[in-house]
Amino acid sequence: MNACRPIFFLLLLACAQASAQGDDLDRLLQERGLTDAPPGQTMRATPDHSAAGAPADRMSELVVAAMGAIGVPYRMGGNSYDSGFDCSGFVRAVYGQSLGLTLPRQAAQQAAATHVIERNQLRPGDLVFFNTLRRAYSHVGIYVGDHKFIHSPRPGAAVRIEDMRVNYWNRRFDGARRVTGDVPLRAPLQVAADPALLLQNY
């Protein structure tokens, strides 16, 4: 039971931030009986359409699905809950399972295929990118709210939640992205065909 508390509280934190930014994590938790609506506050009748044209409650489910993978081991090239994930395989699997979307396979391709947003515009379900291999967009995770993201970090580790404000991640932050309906879900062919182009920002 104690092991579940950190995840539950992170869901509540994500709910609070999402509410301030127009997301509906609070609505999802209320519908599942995990929180009460604040007195005098009514839930929005009009859903907030965000990533890939999906209503915000589906983005909330995406975050919950991502948290369901906590503890799944890292595996280079992995993209399944059974055998493990690398960072981009994790993002691809969560988006595929939750929204039925097929994102590109590599982190840099995912960055190229999604919509650029500012760090202060992040909402749960958005993608966050980092330079961890001395090249741009070499690592990716899913933002869950309250400056935290979930990812599959490295060999020997497992899917976990980290704080973007920690010095290691803050210094390596490369940018934020949102999957929207007007952005292609596959990276341009030249990016996939020529790996050298992945280094074009350096």
- The residue annotated as part of the active site, out of 4, 15, 147, 151, is 151
For the question of whether the overall pTM of this predicted structure is more than 0.75, the answer is no
Phi, psi (degrees; rounded to nearest 5) at 145: 110, 160
Q: Judge whether 147 counts as a catalytic residue.
A: no
Residue-wise pLDDT for 33-54, tens only, equals: 433 444 444 333 233 445 555 6
Residue-wise pLDDT for 149-162, tens only, equals: 999 999 999 999 99
Q: Which residue has the tokens 């020529």?
A: 194
Q: Judge whether 115 counts as a catalytic residue.
A: no
67 or 197: which carries more pLDDT confidence? 67
- The residue annotated as part of the active site, out of 49, 87, 115, 147, is 87
Q: Which two tokens stand for residue 200?
A: 């074009």
The predicted structure's pLDDT at residue 58: 86
Q: Judge whether 49 counts as a catalytic residue.
A: no
Q: Which two tokens stand for residue 100?
A: 């039925």
Residue-wise pLDDT for 135-183, tens only, equals: 999 999 999 999 999 999 999 999 999 999 999 999 999 999 999 864 4
- What lies within 8 Å, CB to CB, of 72 at 6+ separation is 81, 84, 85, 90, 152, 158, 159
